[in-house]
Structure 1
Amino acid sequence: MFGTTDDNALSCFLSPSMTVTKKHEPADVRINNRMMVFGQIFSSCPMSRAQIGRKTGLSRVAACEVVSDMLDKHFLMENGYEQPTRPGKKGTLVSVDDQYWNVIVLDLSMPFLLQAAVMNLRGEIVTRVEKSFDKITAVTPETVIALAESLLDGASHILGFGVAVPGIVDEDGVVVETANFGWKNVPLRKMFQQHFGKFCAVDNDANSALIGERFCGTGRATGIFVQIAVGVGAALLIDDSLVLGIHHAAGEIGHVVVDPDGPQCTCGKRGCLETFISAANLRRRINENPLDRTTILQEAGRSLGHVLAPSVSLLDLDDIFVYGSKDIVDDIFLGATEYAINAEAASTLQNHSIRVQQCSCGNDIVLRGESIAVVQAVLRNANEYKKSAPCGTRTHNPRLKRTLLCQLS
C-alpha cells in the first residue's frame, strides 16, 4: 500500500511539528504506544501481538496491553489466526476494526458542492450524500451541521465528526478565515461539539488530503502535497509530522506573487499564483483559447514549480503530490512542474531527481484523510479516548435536527 514506507512510518503520524518540548508523563507514553500500534496495523495485513511488538519496538507485555485496550474500545478486532511456522499455539491476528465505529466527515473543498460521508476506521465510505449550492456564499456553518445531521441514521456508533475546510484553521478548530465562504473566526469545532455532543476535528483541506495520501495512497514520511481547486493550497509532512506553522497558515501558497504585473487577485495583490493556476482560471483560459491548452498548462506547471523550488531545496525533499481535476492536473502540467523544480532546486551535489506525481487516492482523498484525522485525534486525546466506550451512542437535539434538515430540502 505504501511502496517504500518504513515499518514504523505511520507510528506517530499527524503529530504537529511546532510544539514545546516538555517532560513526558506516563499518559504520553500510553498515547504514543496507541498511535504506534494503530499506525502499524493500519499499514499492514492482520498481525499477531508478537509481530506488533517486533515492528513497533514495544515489549511483548506492552504490546499485549495496548492491543487488549484497543480491542475493548473497538479500535482493533481479532481476525483469525496466523499460520504457524513451528509447533505451538497459533497467534491470534488483529486488524483495524472496520465494523463498529463510524466517523461522519464533511469535505468543503469543492466549489458549490458539499460532500459528506459515513466512514469506518479504515477510511472507507459506508454511505455518502452531496449538496450543491448556486452561490458559494450560501454555505453557512448551519448548513454544514444540517448535512452532517442527515447522515445520523446511516451511522451506528459515532466516534466523532470531521470537517475539512479550505482556509486557515487554528488549534481550537476555529476557522480563522476561508475566502470561499466568507467565514472569519467561526468556532466550527465548538458548534459541532455543542450540537452533537461528540468530538469534532476541523482541519485545513490540504492537510486532510495529505493524510489521505499518506495512509491510503503512496505518500511517504516526508513530502509536499499541493491541492488545486477553487484556490491553491499545500501541506507539508516532515518525518511524519504535519507542519502547521506558528499561525497555522503553513502551505498557504496561493497568494505568493509570481508576476507583479499579473492579473488582479481577490486578495488585493496582483499576479498571485492562484490567478494563474486555480482550476477556474485555467479552465477559463483554455476555453477562451482551446488551441493553446498545452502552452497554458505548461506555463501553469512552471509557475507552480517556481514557487515550490525554494522549499524543496531548503528541506531536501524529493516527493511532491498534486491533487486536482484530471482535465487540469495531467501529464503536461505535472511534467512542466517537475522540470521547473529540478531546474531550479536540484544541484550537482544531489544524486536524485525530484518527482512530481498525481495523488493516487482519487476524488475521495479529502474525505478519507479527514476520517483518519478524527481517529488519530481521538487516540491522541486521553479524555476522548476514555469516552470511546463499547456502547457508544448518538447524542443530538431532535428538535434542532428537524429545523436544520429543512435547510437541505
Structure 2
Amino acid sequence: MTTVAEHRAAVRGLVESHWHPATEVVPLGAALGRVLAEDARTPIDLPPFDNSQMDGYAVRSDAAAGPLRVTGHVAAGDPITSFAGGAVAIMTGAPMPVGADAVVPVEAVGTPGDFAAVGETIELRQPVERGTFVRARGSDLPGGSVLLEAGATLGPAQLGALAASGLSTAPVRARPRVLIVSTGAELAEPGEPLRTGAIYDANAVSLSAAITLAGGIALATGVYSDEPGHLRLALEAAGPVDLVVTSGGVSAGAHEVVRDTLEPLGVRFGSVALQPGGPQGLGAITVAGAATPVLCFPGNPVSSLVSFELFLRPVLRGDRPMLRVPLAASVDSPGTKHQVRRGRLTDAGTVELVGGPGSHLLAAYARSDVLVHLPVGLSRAEAGETVEVWRIDE
C-alpha cells in the first residue's frame, strides 16, 4: 500500500513532467488570484521620498527646546522643498523639506488640527531625535529589490505593492486547463428528476469549484454510464487540456469504468493508506493527440475532495495553511491509515469534529472549516491532544 507522502510525490512528478505553464502578462486588475511567473522587482524606492508619518511640524533634530518660527507649509502631493529653518507645518504623507530630519506632532505643541500660520511661532517643549515620525525613502524596499518572488499568489496586498511600485501589469503563469470527468451509472444531473437508485452528481460541481479556486480553468463533463466506450468517447471529444481528473470507477469491483478504460492504456491503480480516498489512479493518456496526465479519484464526494486537497491542490496552488490545535474531544482512527476528518475551529481554541469518518458525509464537510489529520500509527487521540489541521475556509 502506498503512503500519502509517496502518492503526493508521484502526483507532483507526473503533473510537472507534462505541464509547463507559459507566462502571460496581464493588467493588475485581471491578476487577482493568479500566480507570479517570475520575480517582480520594484523600479523605485518604496517610499520614493522621505515623508511625514504625522500631521505636525518638520524640524531639525538639533533644534533646542523653545520657540520656533513657522517658515512654511507642506501638504501631501506638494513638491519637495528646501528647509528654511525653524519649523515647517507638514501633513501626513507630505514630502520632508530637504534639511529637516524629524517631525513634531501638532498635538505636542498645541491643539490637534490647529496649525500656526507662516510667520507665527510654536513652542518646542523638548528636542526630538533624528528620524522621529519620518518615513525614510526606501525604508519599505529600495529600488531594484525583489518585491515578490516567483510563485507568489497575487492577493490584495501583493497587487497593492505592485501598484505602489508603479507597475501596471504582472507576469503570471497561464492557468492549467483541467478536464473533470465525473463517472457512474448511478449519477443524475442536478435539477433533473431523481430516479430510484440514483444520486445527484456532486463531484462535477465541487471539483470544478476546487480547480477554479486553485487557479485552474475547469472543463467539466459527466459520463453517467459504466460502459468504457462512453468514457472513451468523452475523452476523444475533449480538446487540448493540461490535465484530466476523473471521479468514480477506480476500485477493484465490477463496473469500474475508469479502471476498465484506462488501465489498459497504462494508468496505474492501487491503494493509498488514506481514509477517505484510498483507491487512486494516475498515469498519462493521449488527449487531443498529446500525452496528458490523468488523476483518478474515488467517486464518493468527500473522498474526491479530500483527494484533491491532498494530492492536486498542492501542485496547483501550494500547501494549505497548517495549524496545531488541541482536540475538543477524543477520537479513534485506524492506525494503519492516514485519516482525514472534517472539523471546525471553536472559540475556545480547540477543533471539534464535524460528522463521522464516512466518505459520503458531504453536508458535514460543507459545515467544516478545517481538515483534521490523524496520521498513520495513531489509533486514538485524547481530548486536549494537539493535531495538525488545514484551513479550508478560503
**TM-score, length-scaled by structure 1:** 0.32
Bigger fraction of residues in strand? 2
**TM-score, length-scaled by structure 2:** 0.33
Bigger fraction of residues in helix? 1
Higher RCO (CA-CA < 8 Å; seq separation 6+): 1
Higher CA-based Rg: 2
